[in-house]
């Protein structure tokens, strides 16, 4: 595999500037909370990077996915009406000690959590509860993987070397101290933003993704190994990362967005 | 599956924040903070806290599993066989199936009978999605449905104190001596309470 970050994509530099502006000027002319509509993703049969036995395409039904990651502003609105998820109220079995720890107060995101930045340091349980409150759910891994396979022009760009390099370039940017605001990168085929560029995202069945280093003696079944599509590095990293998490874990670059079944879909 | 998923999503939305917290005095690190619905062999709905007040072994399985699940049952029976009778009488065992479609109450009852489980102290229950996924998340247990309708899943036994706090876990079906020691300690006669005559 080529070392990442060899070629830079101009567009990402622009987004980096935009993110700096957003961070350096918190509170200054910040637009109202961006609408975060649910965008339709057409169903498909595709080959997942996850192993299956027998190796066969998986089917994703048409579904709806939020346009961008849930933001601090959106999450704050949720906390105002769901006090049990405030960081001083949530049980430790459902969110670890770092849950929203970068916020200034329980209901005050403060200077390190700008309104339009993705909310991070949220546990899987918290993400599930947030989505339920929107009458939604987290996307499944297959849904997320399929939505994230799209480039700006193609539904499935995973075999496109240029697109893969672009994804790797995103990953190779320094982690930095601050997260970009949402929707600074390009929209993909469906009009979804930042699936691969900005934060890791929880999926509903994250604990169906067995750790890549799973000890076969500690698992029942032999599909745990041998991830497919080894060239699809960015997705494999996701699987490995999500597969290593506990549901109460939080992370500074770990956020989420919600999904819904498509109305009228079979 | 998506059909079912959709109904469940609706059901969850209706229930609102079903996984949030409870009543009273449960410690913040109690797994019984999670509110889910389990169906027993007797087709009754119970919570994860079915055995609150007792030291409990909990694990997840699916009944049509060809190999590992019978082994799990046997393993639990072997672990508890190392306890003396009084200690064993204090212990409860909760086995949660993540395959509710196939592990019906009748099927669970059949499994319990086949394995001669002690119906006073053991319960085989099933959890539908999304509750099964939540329980797994809570236990750090992993499972995945494969295209042939079998599952890949963890082998994991968790020991809970009477308030639902994790005392120990093991991924070893036989002979984890550290786990055995914790199980023995957790089911030993409570110092004060034991002096009160039971009957």
User: What distance in Å separates residue B56's CA from the closest CA in chain A?
Assistant: 17
Higher pLDDT, residue A17 or A110: A110
B20: confidence class by pLDDT, cuts 50, 70, 90 = very low
Confidence of residue A142 (pLDDT cuts 50, 70, 90): very high
pLDDT for A24-82, tens place per residue?
444 444 444 458 999 999 999 998 888 666 667 889 999 999 999 999 999 999 999 99
Q: B95: which residues sit within 8 A by CB, 6+ positions away?
A: B58, B59, B60, B61, B72, B73, B76, B122, B123, B124, B125
Looking at residue B21, its pLDDT comes to: 42
Across the range A221-228, mean pLDDT stands at 48
Q: Summarize pLDDT for B172-197 with one digit per residue, the tens.
A: 988 899 999 999 999 998 765 444 44
Q: Does B151 touch chain A (CB under 8 A)?
A: yes
The percent of residues above 70 in pLDDT, for chain A, comes to 74
Of B29, B30, B146, the CB nearest to A53: B146
Identify whether the C-beta of residue B151 lies closer than 8 Å to the C-beta of residue B62.
yes
- Is the pLDDT at A19 greater than 50? The verdict is no
Phi, psi of A91 (to 5 degrees): -65, 145
DSSP structural state of residue B23: S
Quote the pLDDT of residue A219: 55
Question: Which residues, at least 6 apart from B157, have a Cβ–Cβ distance to it below 8 Å?
Answer: B57, B58, B59, B72, B75, B76, B79, B169, B170, B171, B179
List the 71-110 stretch of B: residues with Cβ below 8 A of A.
none
Non-local CB neighbours of B19 within 8 Å, separated by 6+ positions: A94, A125, A128, A129, B34, B35, B36, B134
Say yes or no to pLDDT of A243 above 80: yes
> For helices A124-133 and A72-81, what crossing angle results, to 10°?
80
Portion of chain B with pLDDT greater than 90, in percent:
69
* Nearest-angstrom CA–CA distance, A167 and A149: 10
Environment class of B149 (CB within 10 Å of its CB; exposed 0-12, middle 13-18, buried 19+): exposed
SS3 B60: strand
Within 8 A by CB and 6+ apart from B55, the residues are B90, B91, B92, B159, B160, B161, B162, B167, B183, B186, B187
Rounded Cα distance between B49 and B32, Å, is 5
Q: What is the mean pLDDT of chain A?
A: 81
DSSP string over A42-86: --EEE--SS--SS---EEE--EEEESSPPBHHHHHHHHHH-GGGS
- From A167, A238, A163, A140, select the one nearest A5 (Cα to Cα): A167
Residue-wise pLDDT for B41-71, tens only, equals 999 999 999 999 999 999 999 998 876 678 8
Taking only the tens place, the pLDDT of each residue in A155-207 is 999 889 888 888 887 777 666 667 889 998 889 999 999 998 788 999 999 99
Residue pair B55/B186 in contact by the 8 Å Cβ criterion: yes
Question: Cβ of A265 and B2 within 8 Å?
Answer: yes
Distance of alpha carbon B190 from alpha carbon B199, whole angstroms = 16
What value does the mean pLDDT take over residues B88-105? Answer: 97
Residue A39: what pLDDT? 96
> Quick one: pLDDT at residue A246?
93
Note the pLDDT of residue A240: 82
Residue B164 has pLDDT above 70, yes or no: yes
**pLDDT, position A215:** 56
In this prediction, residue B98 has a pLDDT band, given cuts at 50, 70 and 90, of very high
**pLDDT confidence of residue B146:** 78
Q: Do B144 and A218 touch (CB under 8 A)?
A: no
Contact A152, A189 (CB under 8 A): yes
Number of neighbours of residue A99 by Cβ within 10 angstroms: 22
> What predicted TM-score, i.e. pTM, was given to this entire model?
0.81
* Chain centroid to CA B61: 9
Spatial distance between the Cα atoms of A232 and A65, rounded to a whole number of angstroms: 22
Would you call A220 and B68 a contact, using CB atoms and an 8 Å cutoff? yes
């Amino acid at each position: 595999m080529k070392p990442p970050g060899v070629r830079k994509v101009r567009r990402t530099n622009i987004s980096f500037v935009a993110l700096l502006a957003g961070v350096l000027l918190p509170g200054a002319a910040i637009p109202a909370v961006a609408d975060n509509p649910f965008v339709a993703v057409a169903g498909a049969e595709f080959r997942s990077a996850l192993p299956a036995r027998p190796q066969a395409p998986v089917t994703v039904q048409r579904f709806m996915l939020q346009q961008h990651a849930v933001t601090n502003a959106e999450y704050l609105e949720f906390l105002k009406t769901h006090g049990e998820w405030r960081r001083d109220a949530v049980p430790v079995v459902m969110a670890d000690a770092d849950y929203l720890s970068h916020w200034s107060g329980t209901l005050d995101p403060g200077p390190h959590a700008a309104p339009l930045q993705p909310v991070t340091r949220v546990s899987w349980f918290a993400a599930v509860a947030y989505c339920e409150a929107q009458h939604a759910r987290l996307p499944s891994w297959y849904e997320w993987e399929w939505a994230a396979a799209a480039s700006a022009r193609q539904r499935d760009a995973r075999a496109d070397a240029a697109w893969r390099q672009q994804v790797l370039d995103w990953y190779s940017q320094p982690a930095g101290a601050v997260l970009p605001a949402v929707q600074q990168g390009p929209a993909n085929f469906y009009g979804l933003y930042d699936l691969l560029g900005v934060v890791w995202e929880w999926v509903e069945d994250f604990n169906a993704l067995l750790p890549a280093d799973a000890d076969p003696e500690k698992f029942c079944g032999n599909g745990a190994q041998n991830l497919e599509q080894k060239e699809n590095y960015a997705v494999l990293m996701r699987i490995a990362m999500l597969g290593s998490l506990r549901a109460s874990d939080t992370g500074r670059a770990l956020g989420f967005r919600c999904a819904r079944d498509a109305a009228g879909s079979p | 599956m998506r059909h079912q998923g959709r109904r469940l999503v609706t059901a969850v939305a209706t229930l609102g924040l079903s996984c949030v917290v409870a009543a009273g005095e449960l410690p913040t690190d109690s797994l019984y903070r999670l509110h889910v619905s389990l169906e027993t062999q007797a087709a009754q709905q119970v919570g994860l806290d079915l055995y609150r007040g007792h030291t409990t072994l909990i694990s997840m399985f699916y009944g049509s599993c060809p190999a590992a699940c019978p082994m799990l049952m046997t393993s639990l029976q072997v672990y508890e066989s190392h306890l003396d009778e009084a200690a064993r009488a204090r212990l409860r065992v909760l086995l949660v199936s993540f395959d509710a479609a196939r592990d019906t109450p009748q099927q669970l009852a059949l499994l319990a009978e086949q394995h001669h489980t002690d119906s006073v102290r053991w319960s085989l229950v099933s959890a539908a999605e999304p509750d099964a996924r939540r329980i797994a998340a809570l236990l750090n247990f992993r499972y995945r449905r494969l295209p042939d309708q079998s599952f890949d899943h963890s082998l994991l036994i968790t020991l809970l104190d009477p308030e639902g706090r994790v005392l120990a876990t093991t991924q070893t079906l036989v002979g984890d001596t550290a786990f055995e020691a914790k199980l023995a300690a957790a089911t030993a006669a409570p110092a004060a309470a034991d002096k009160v005559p039971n009957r």
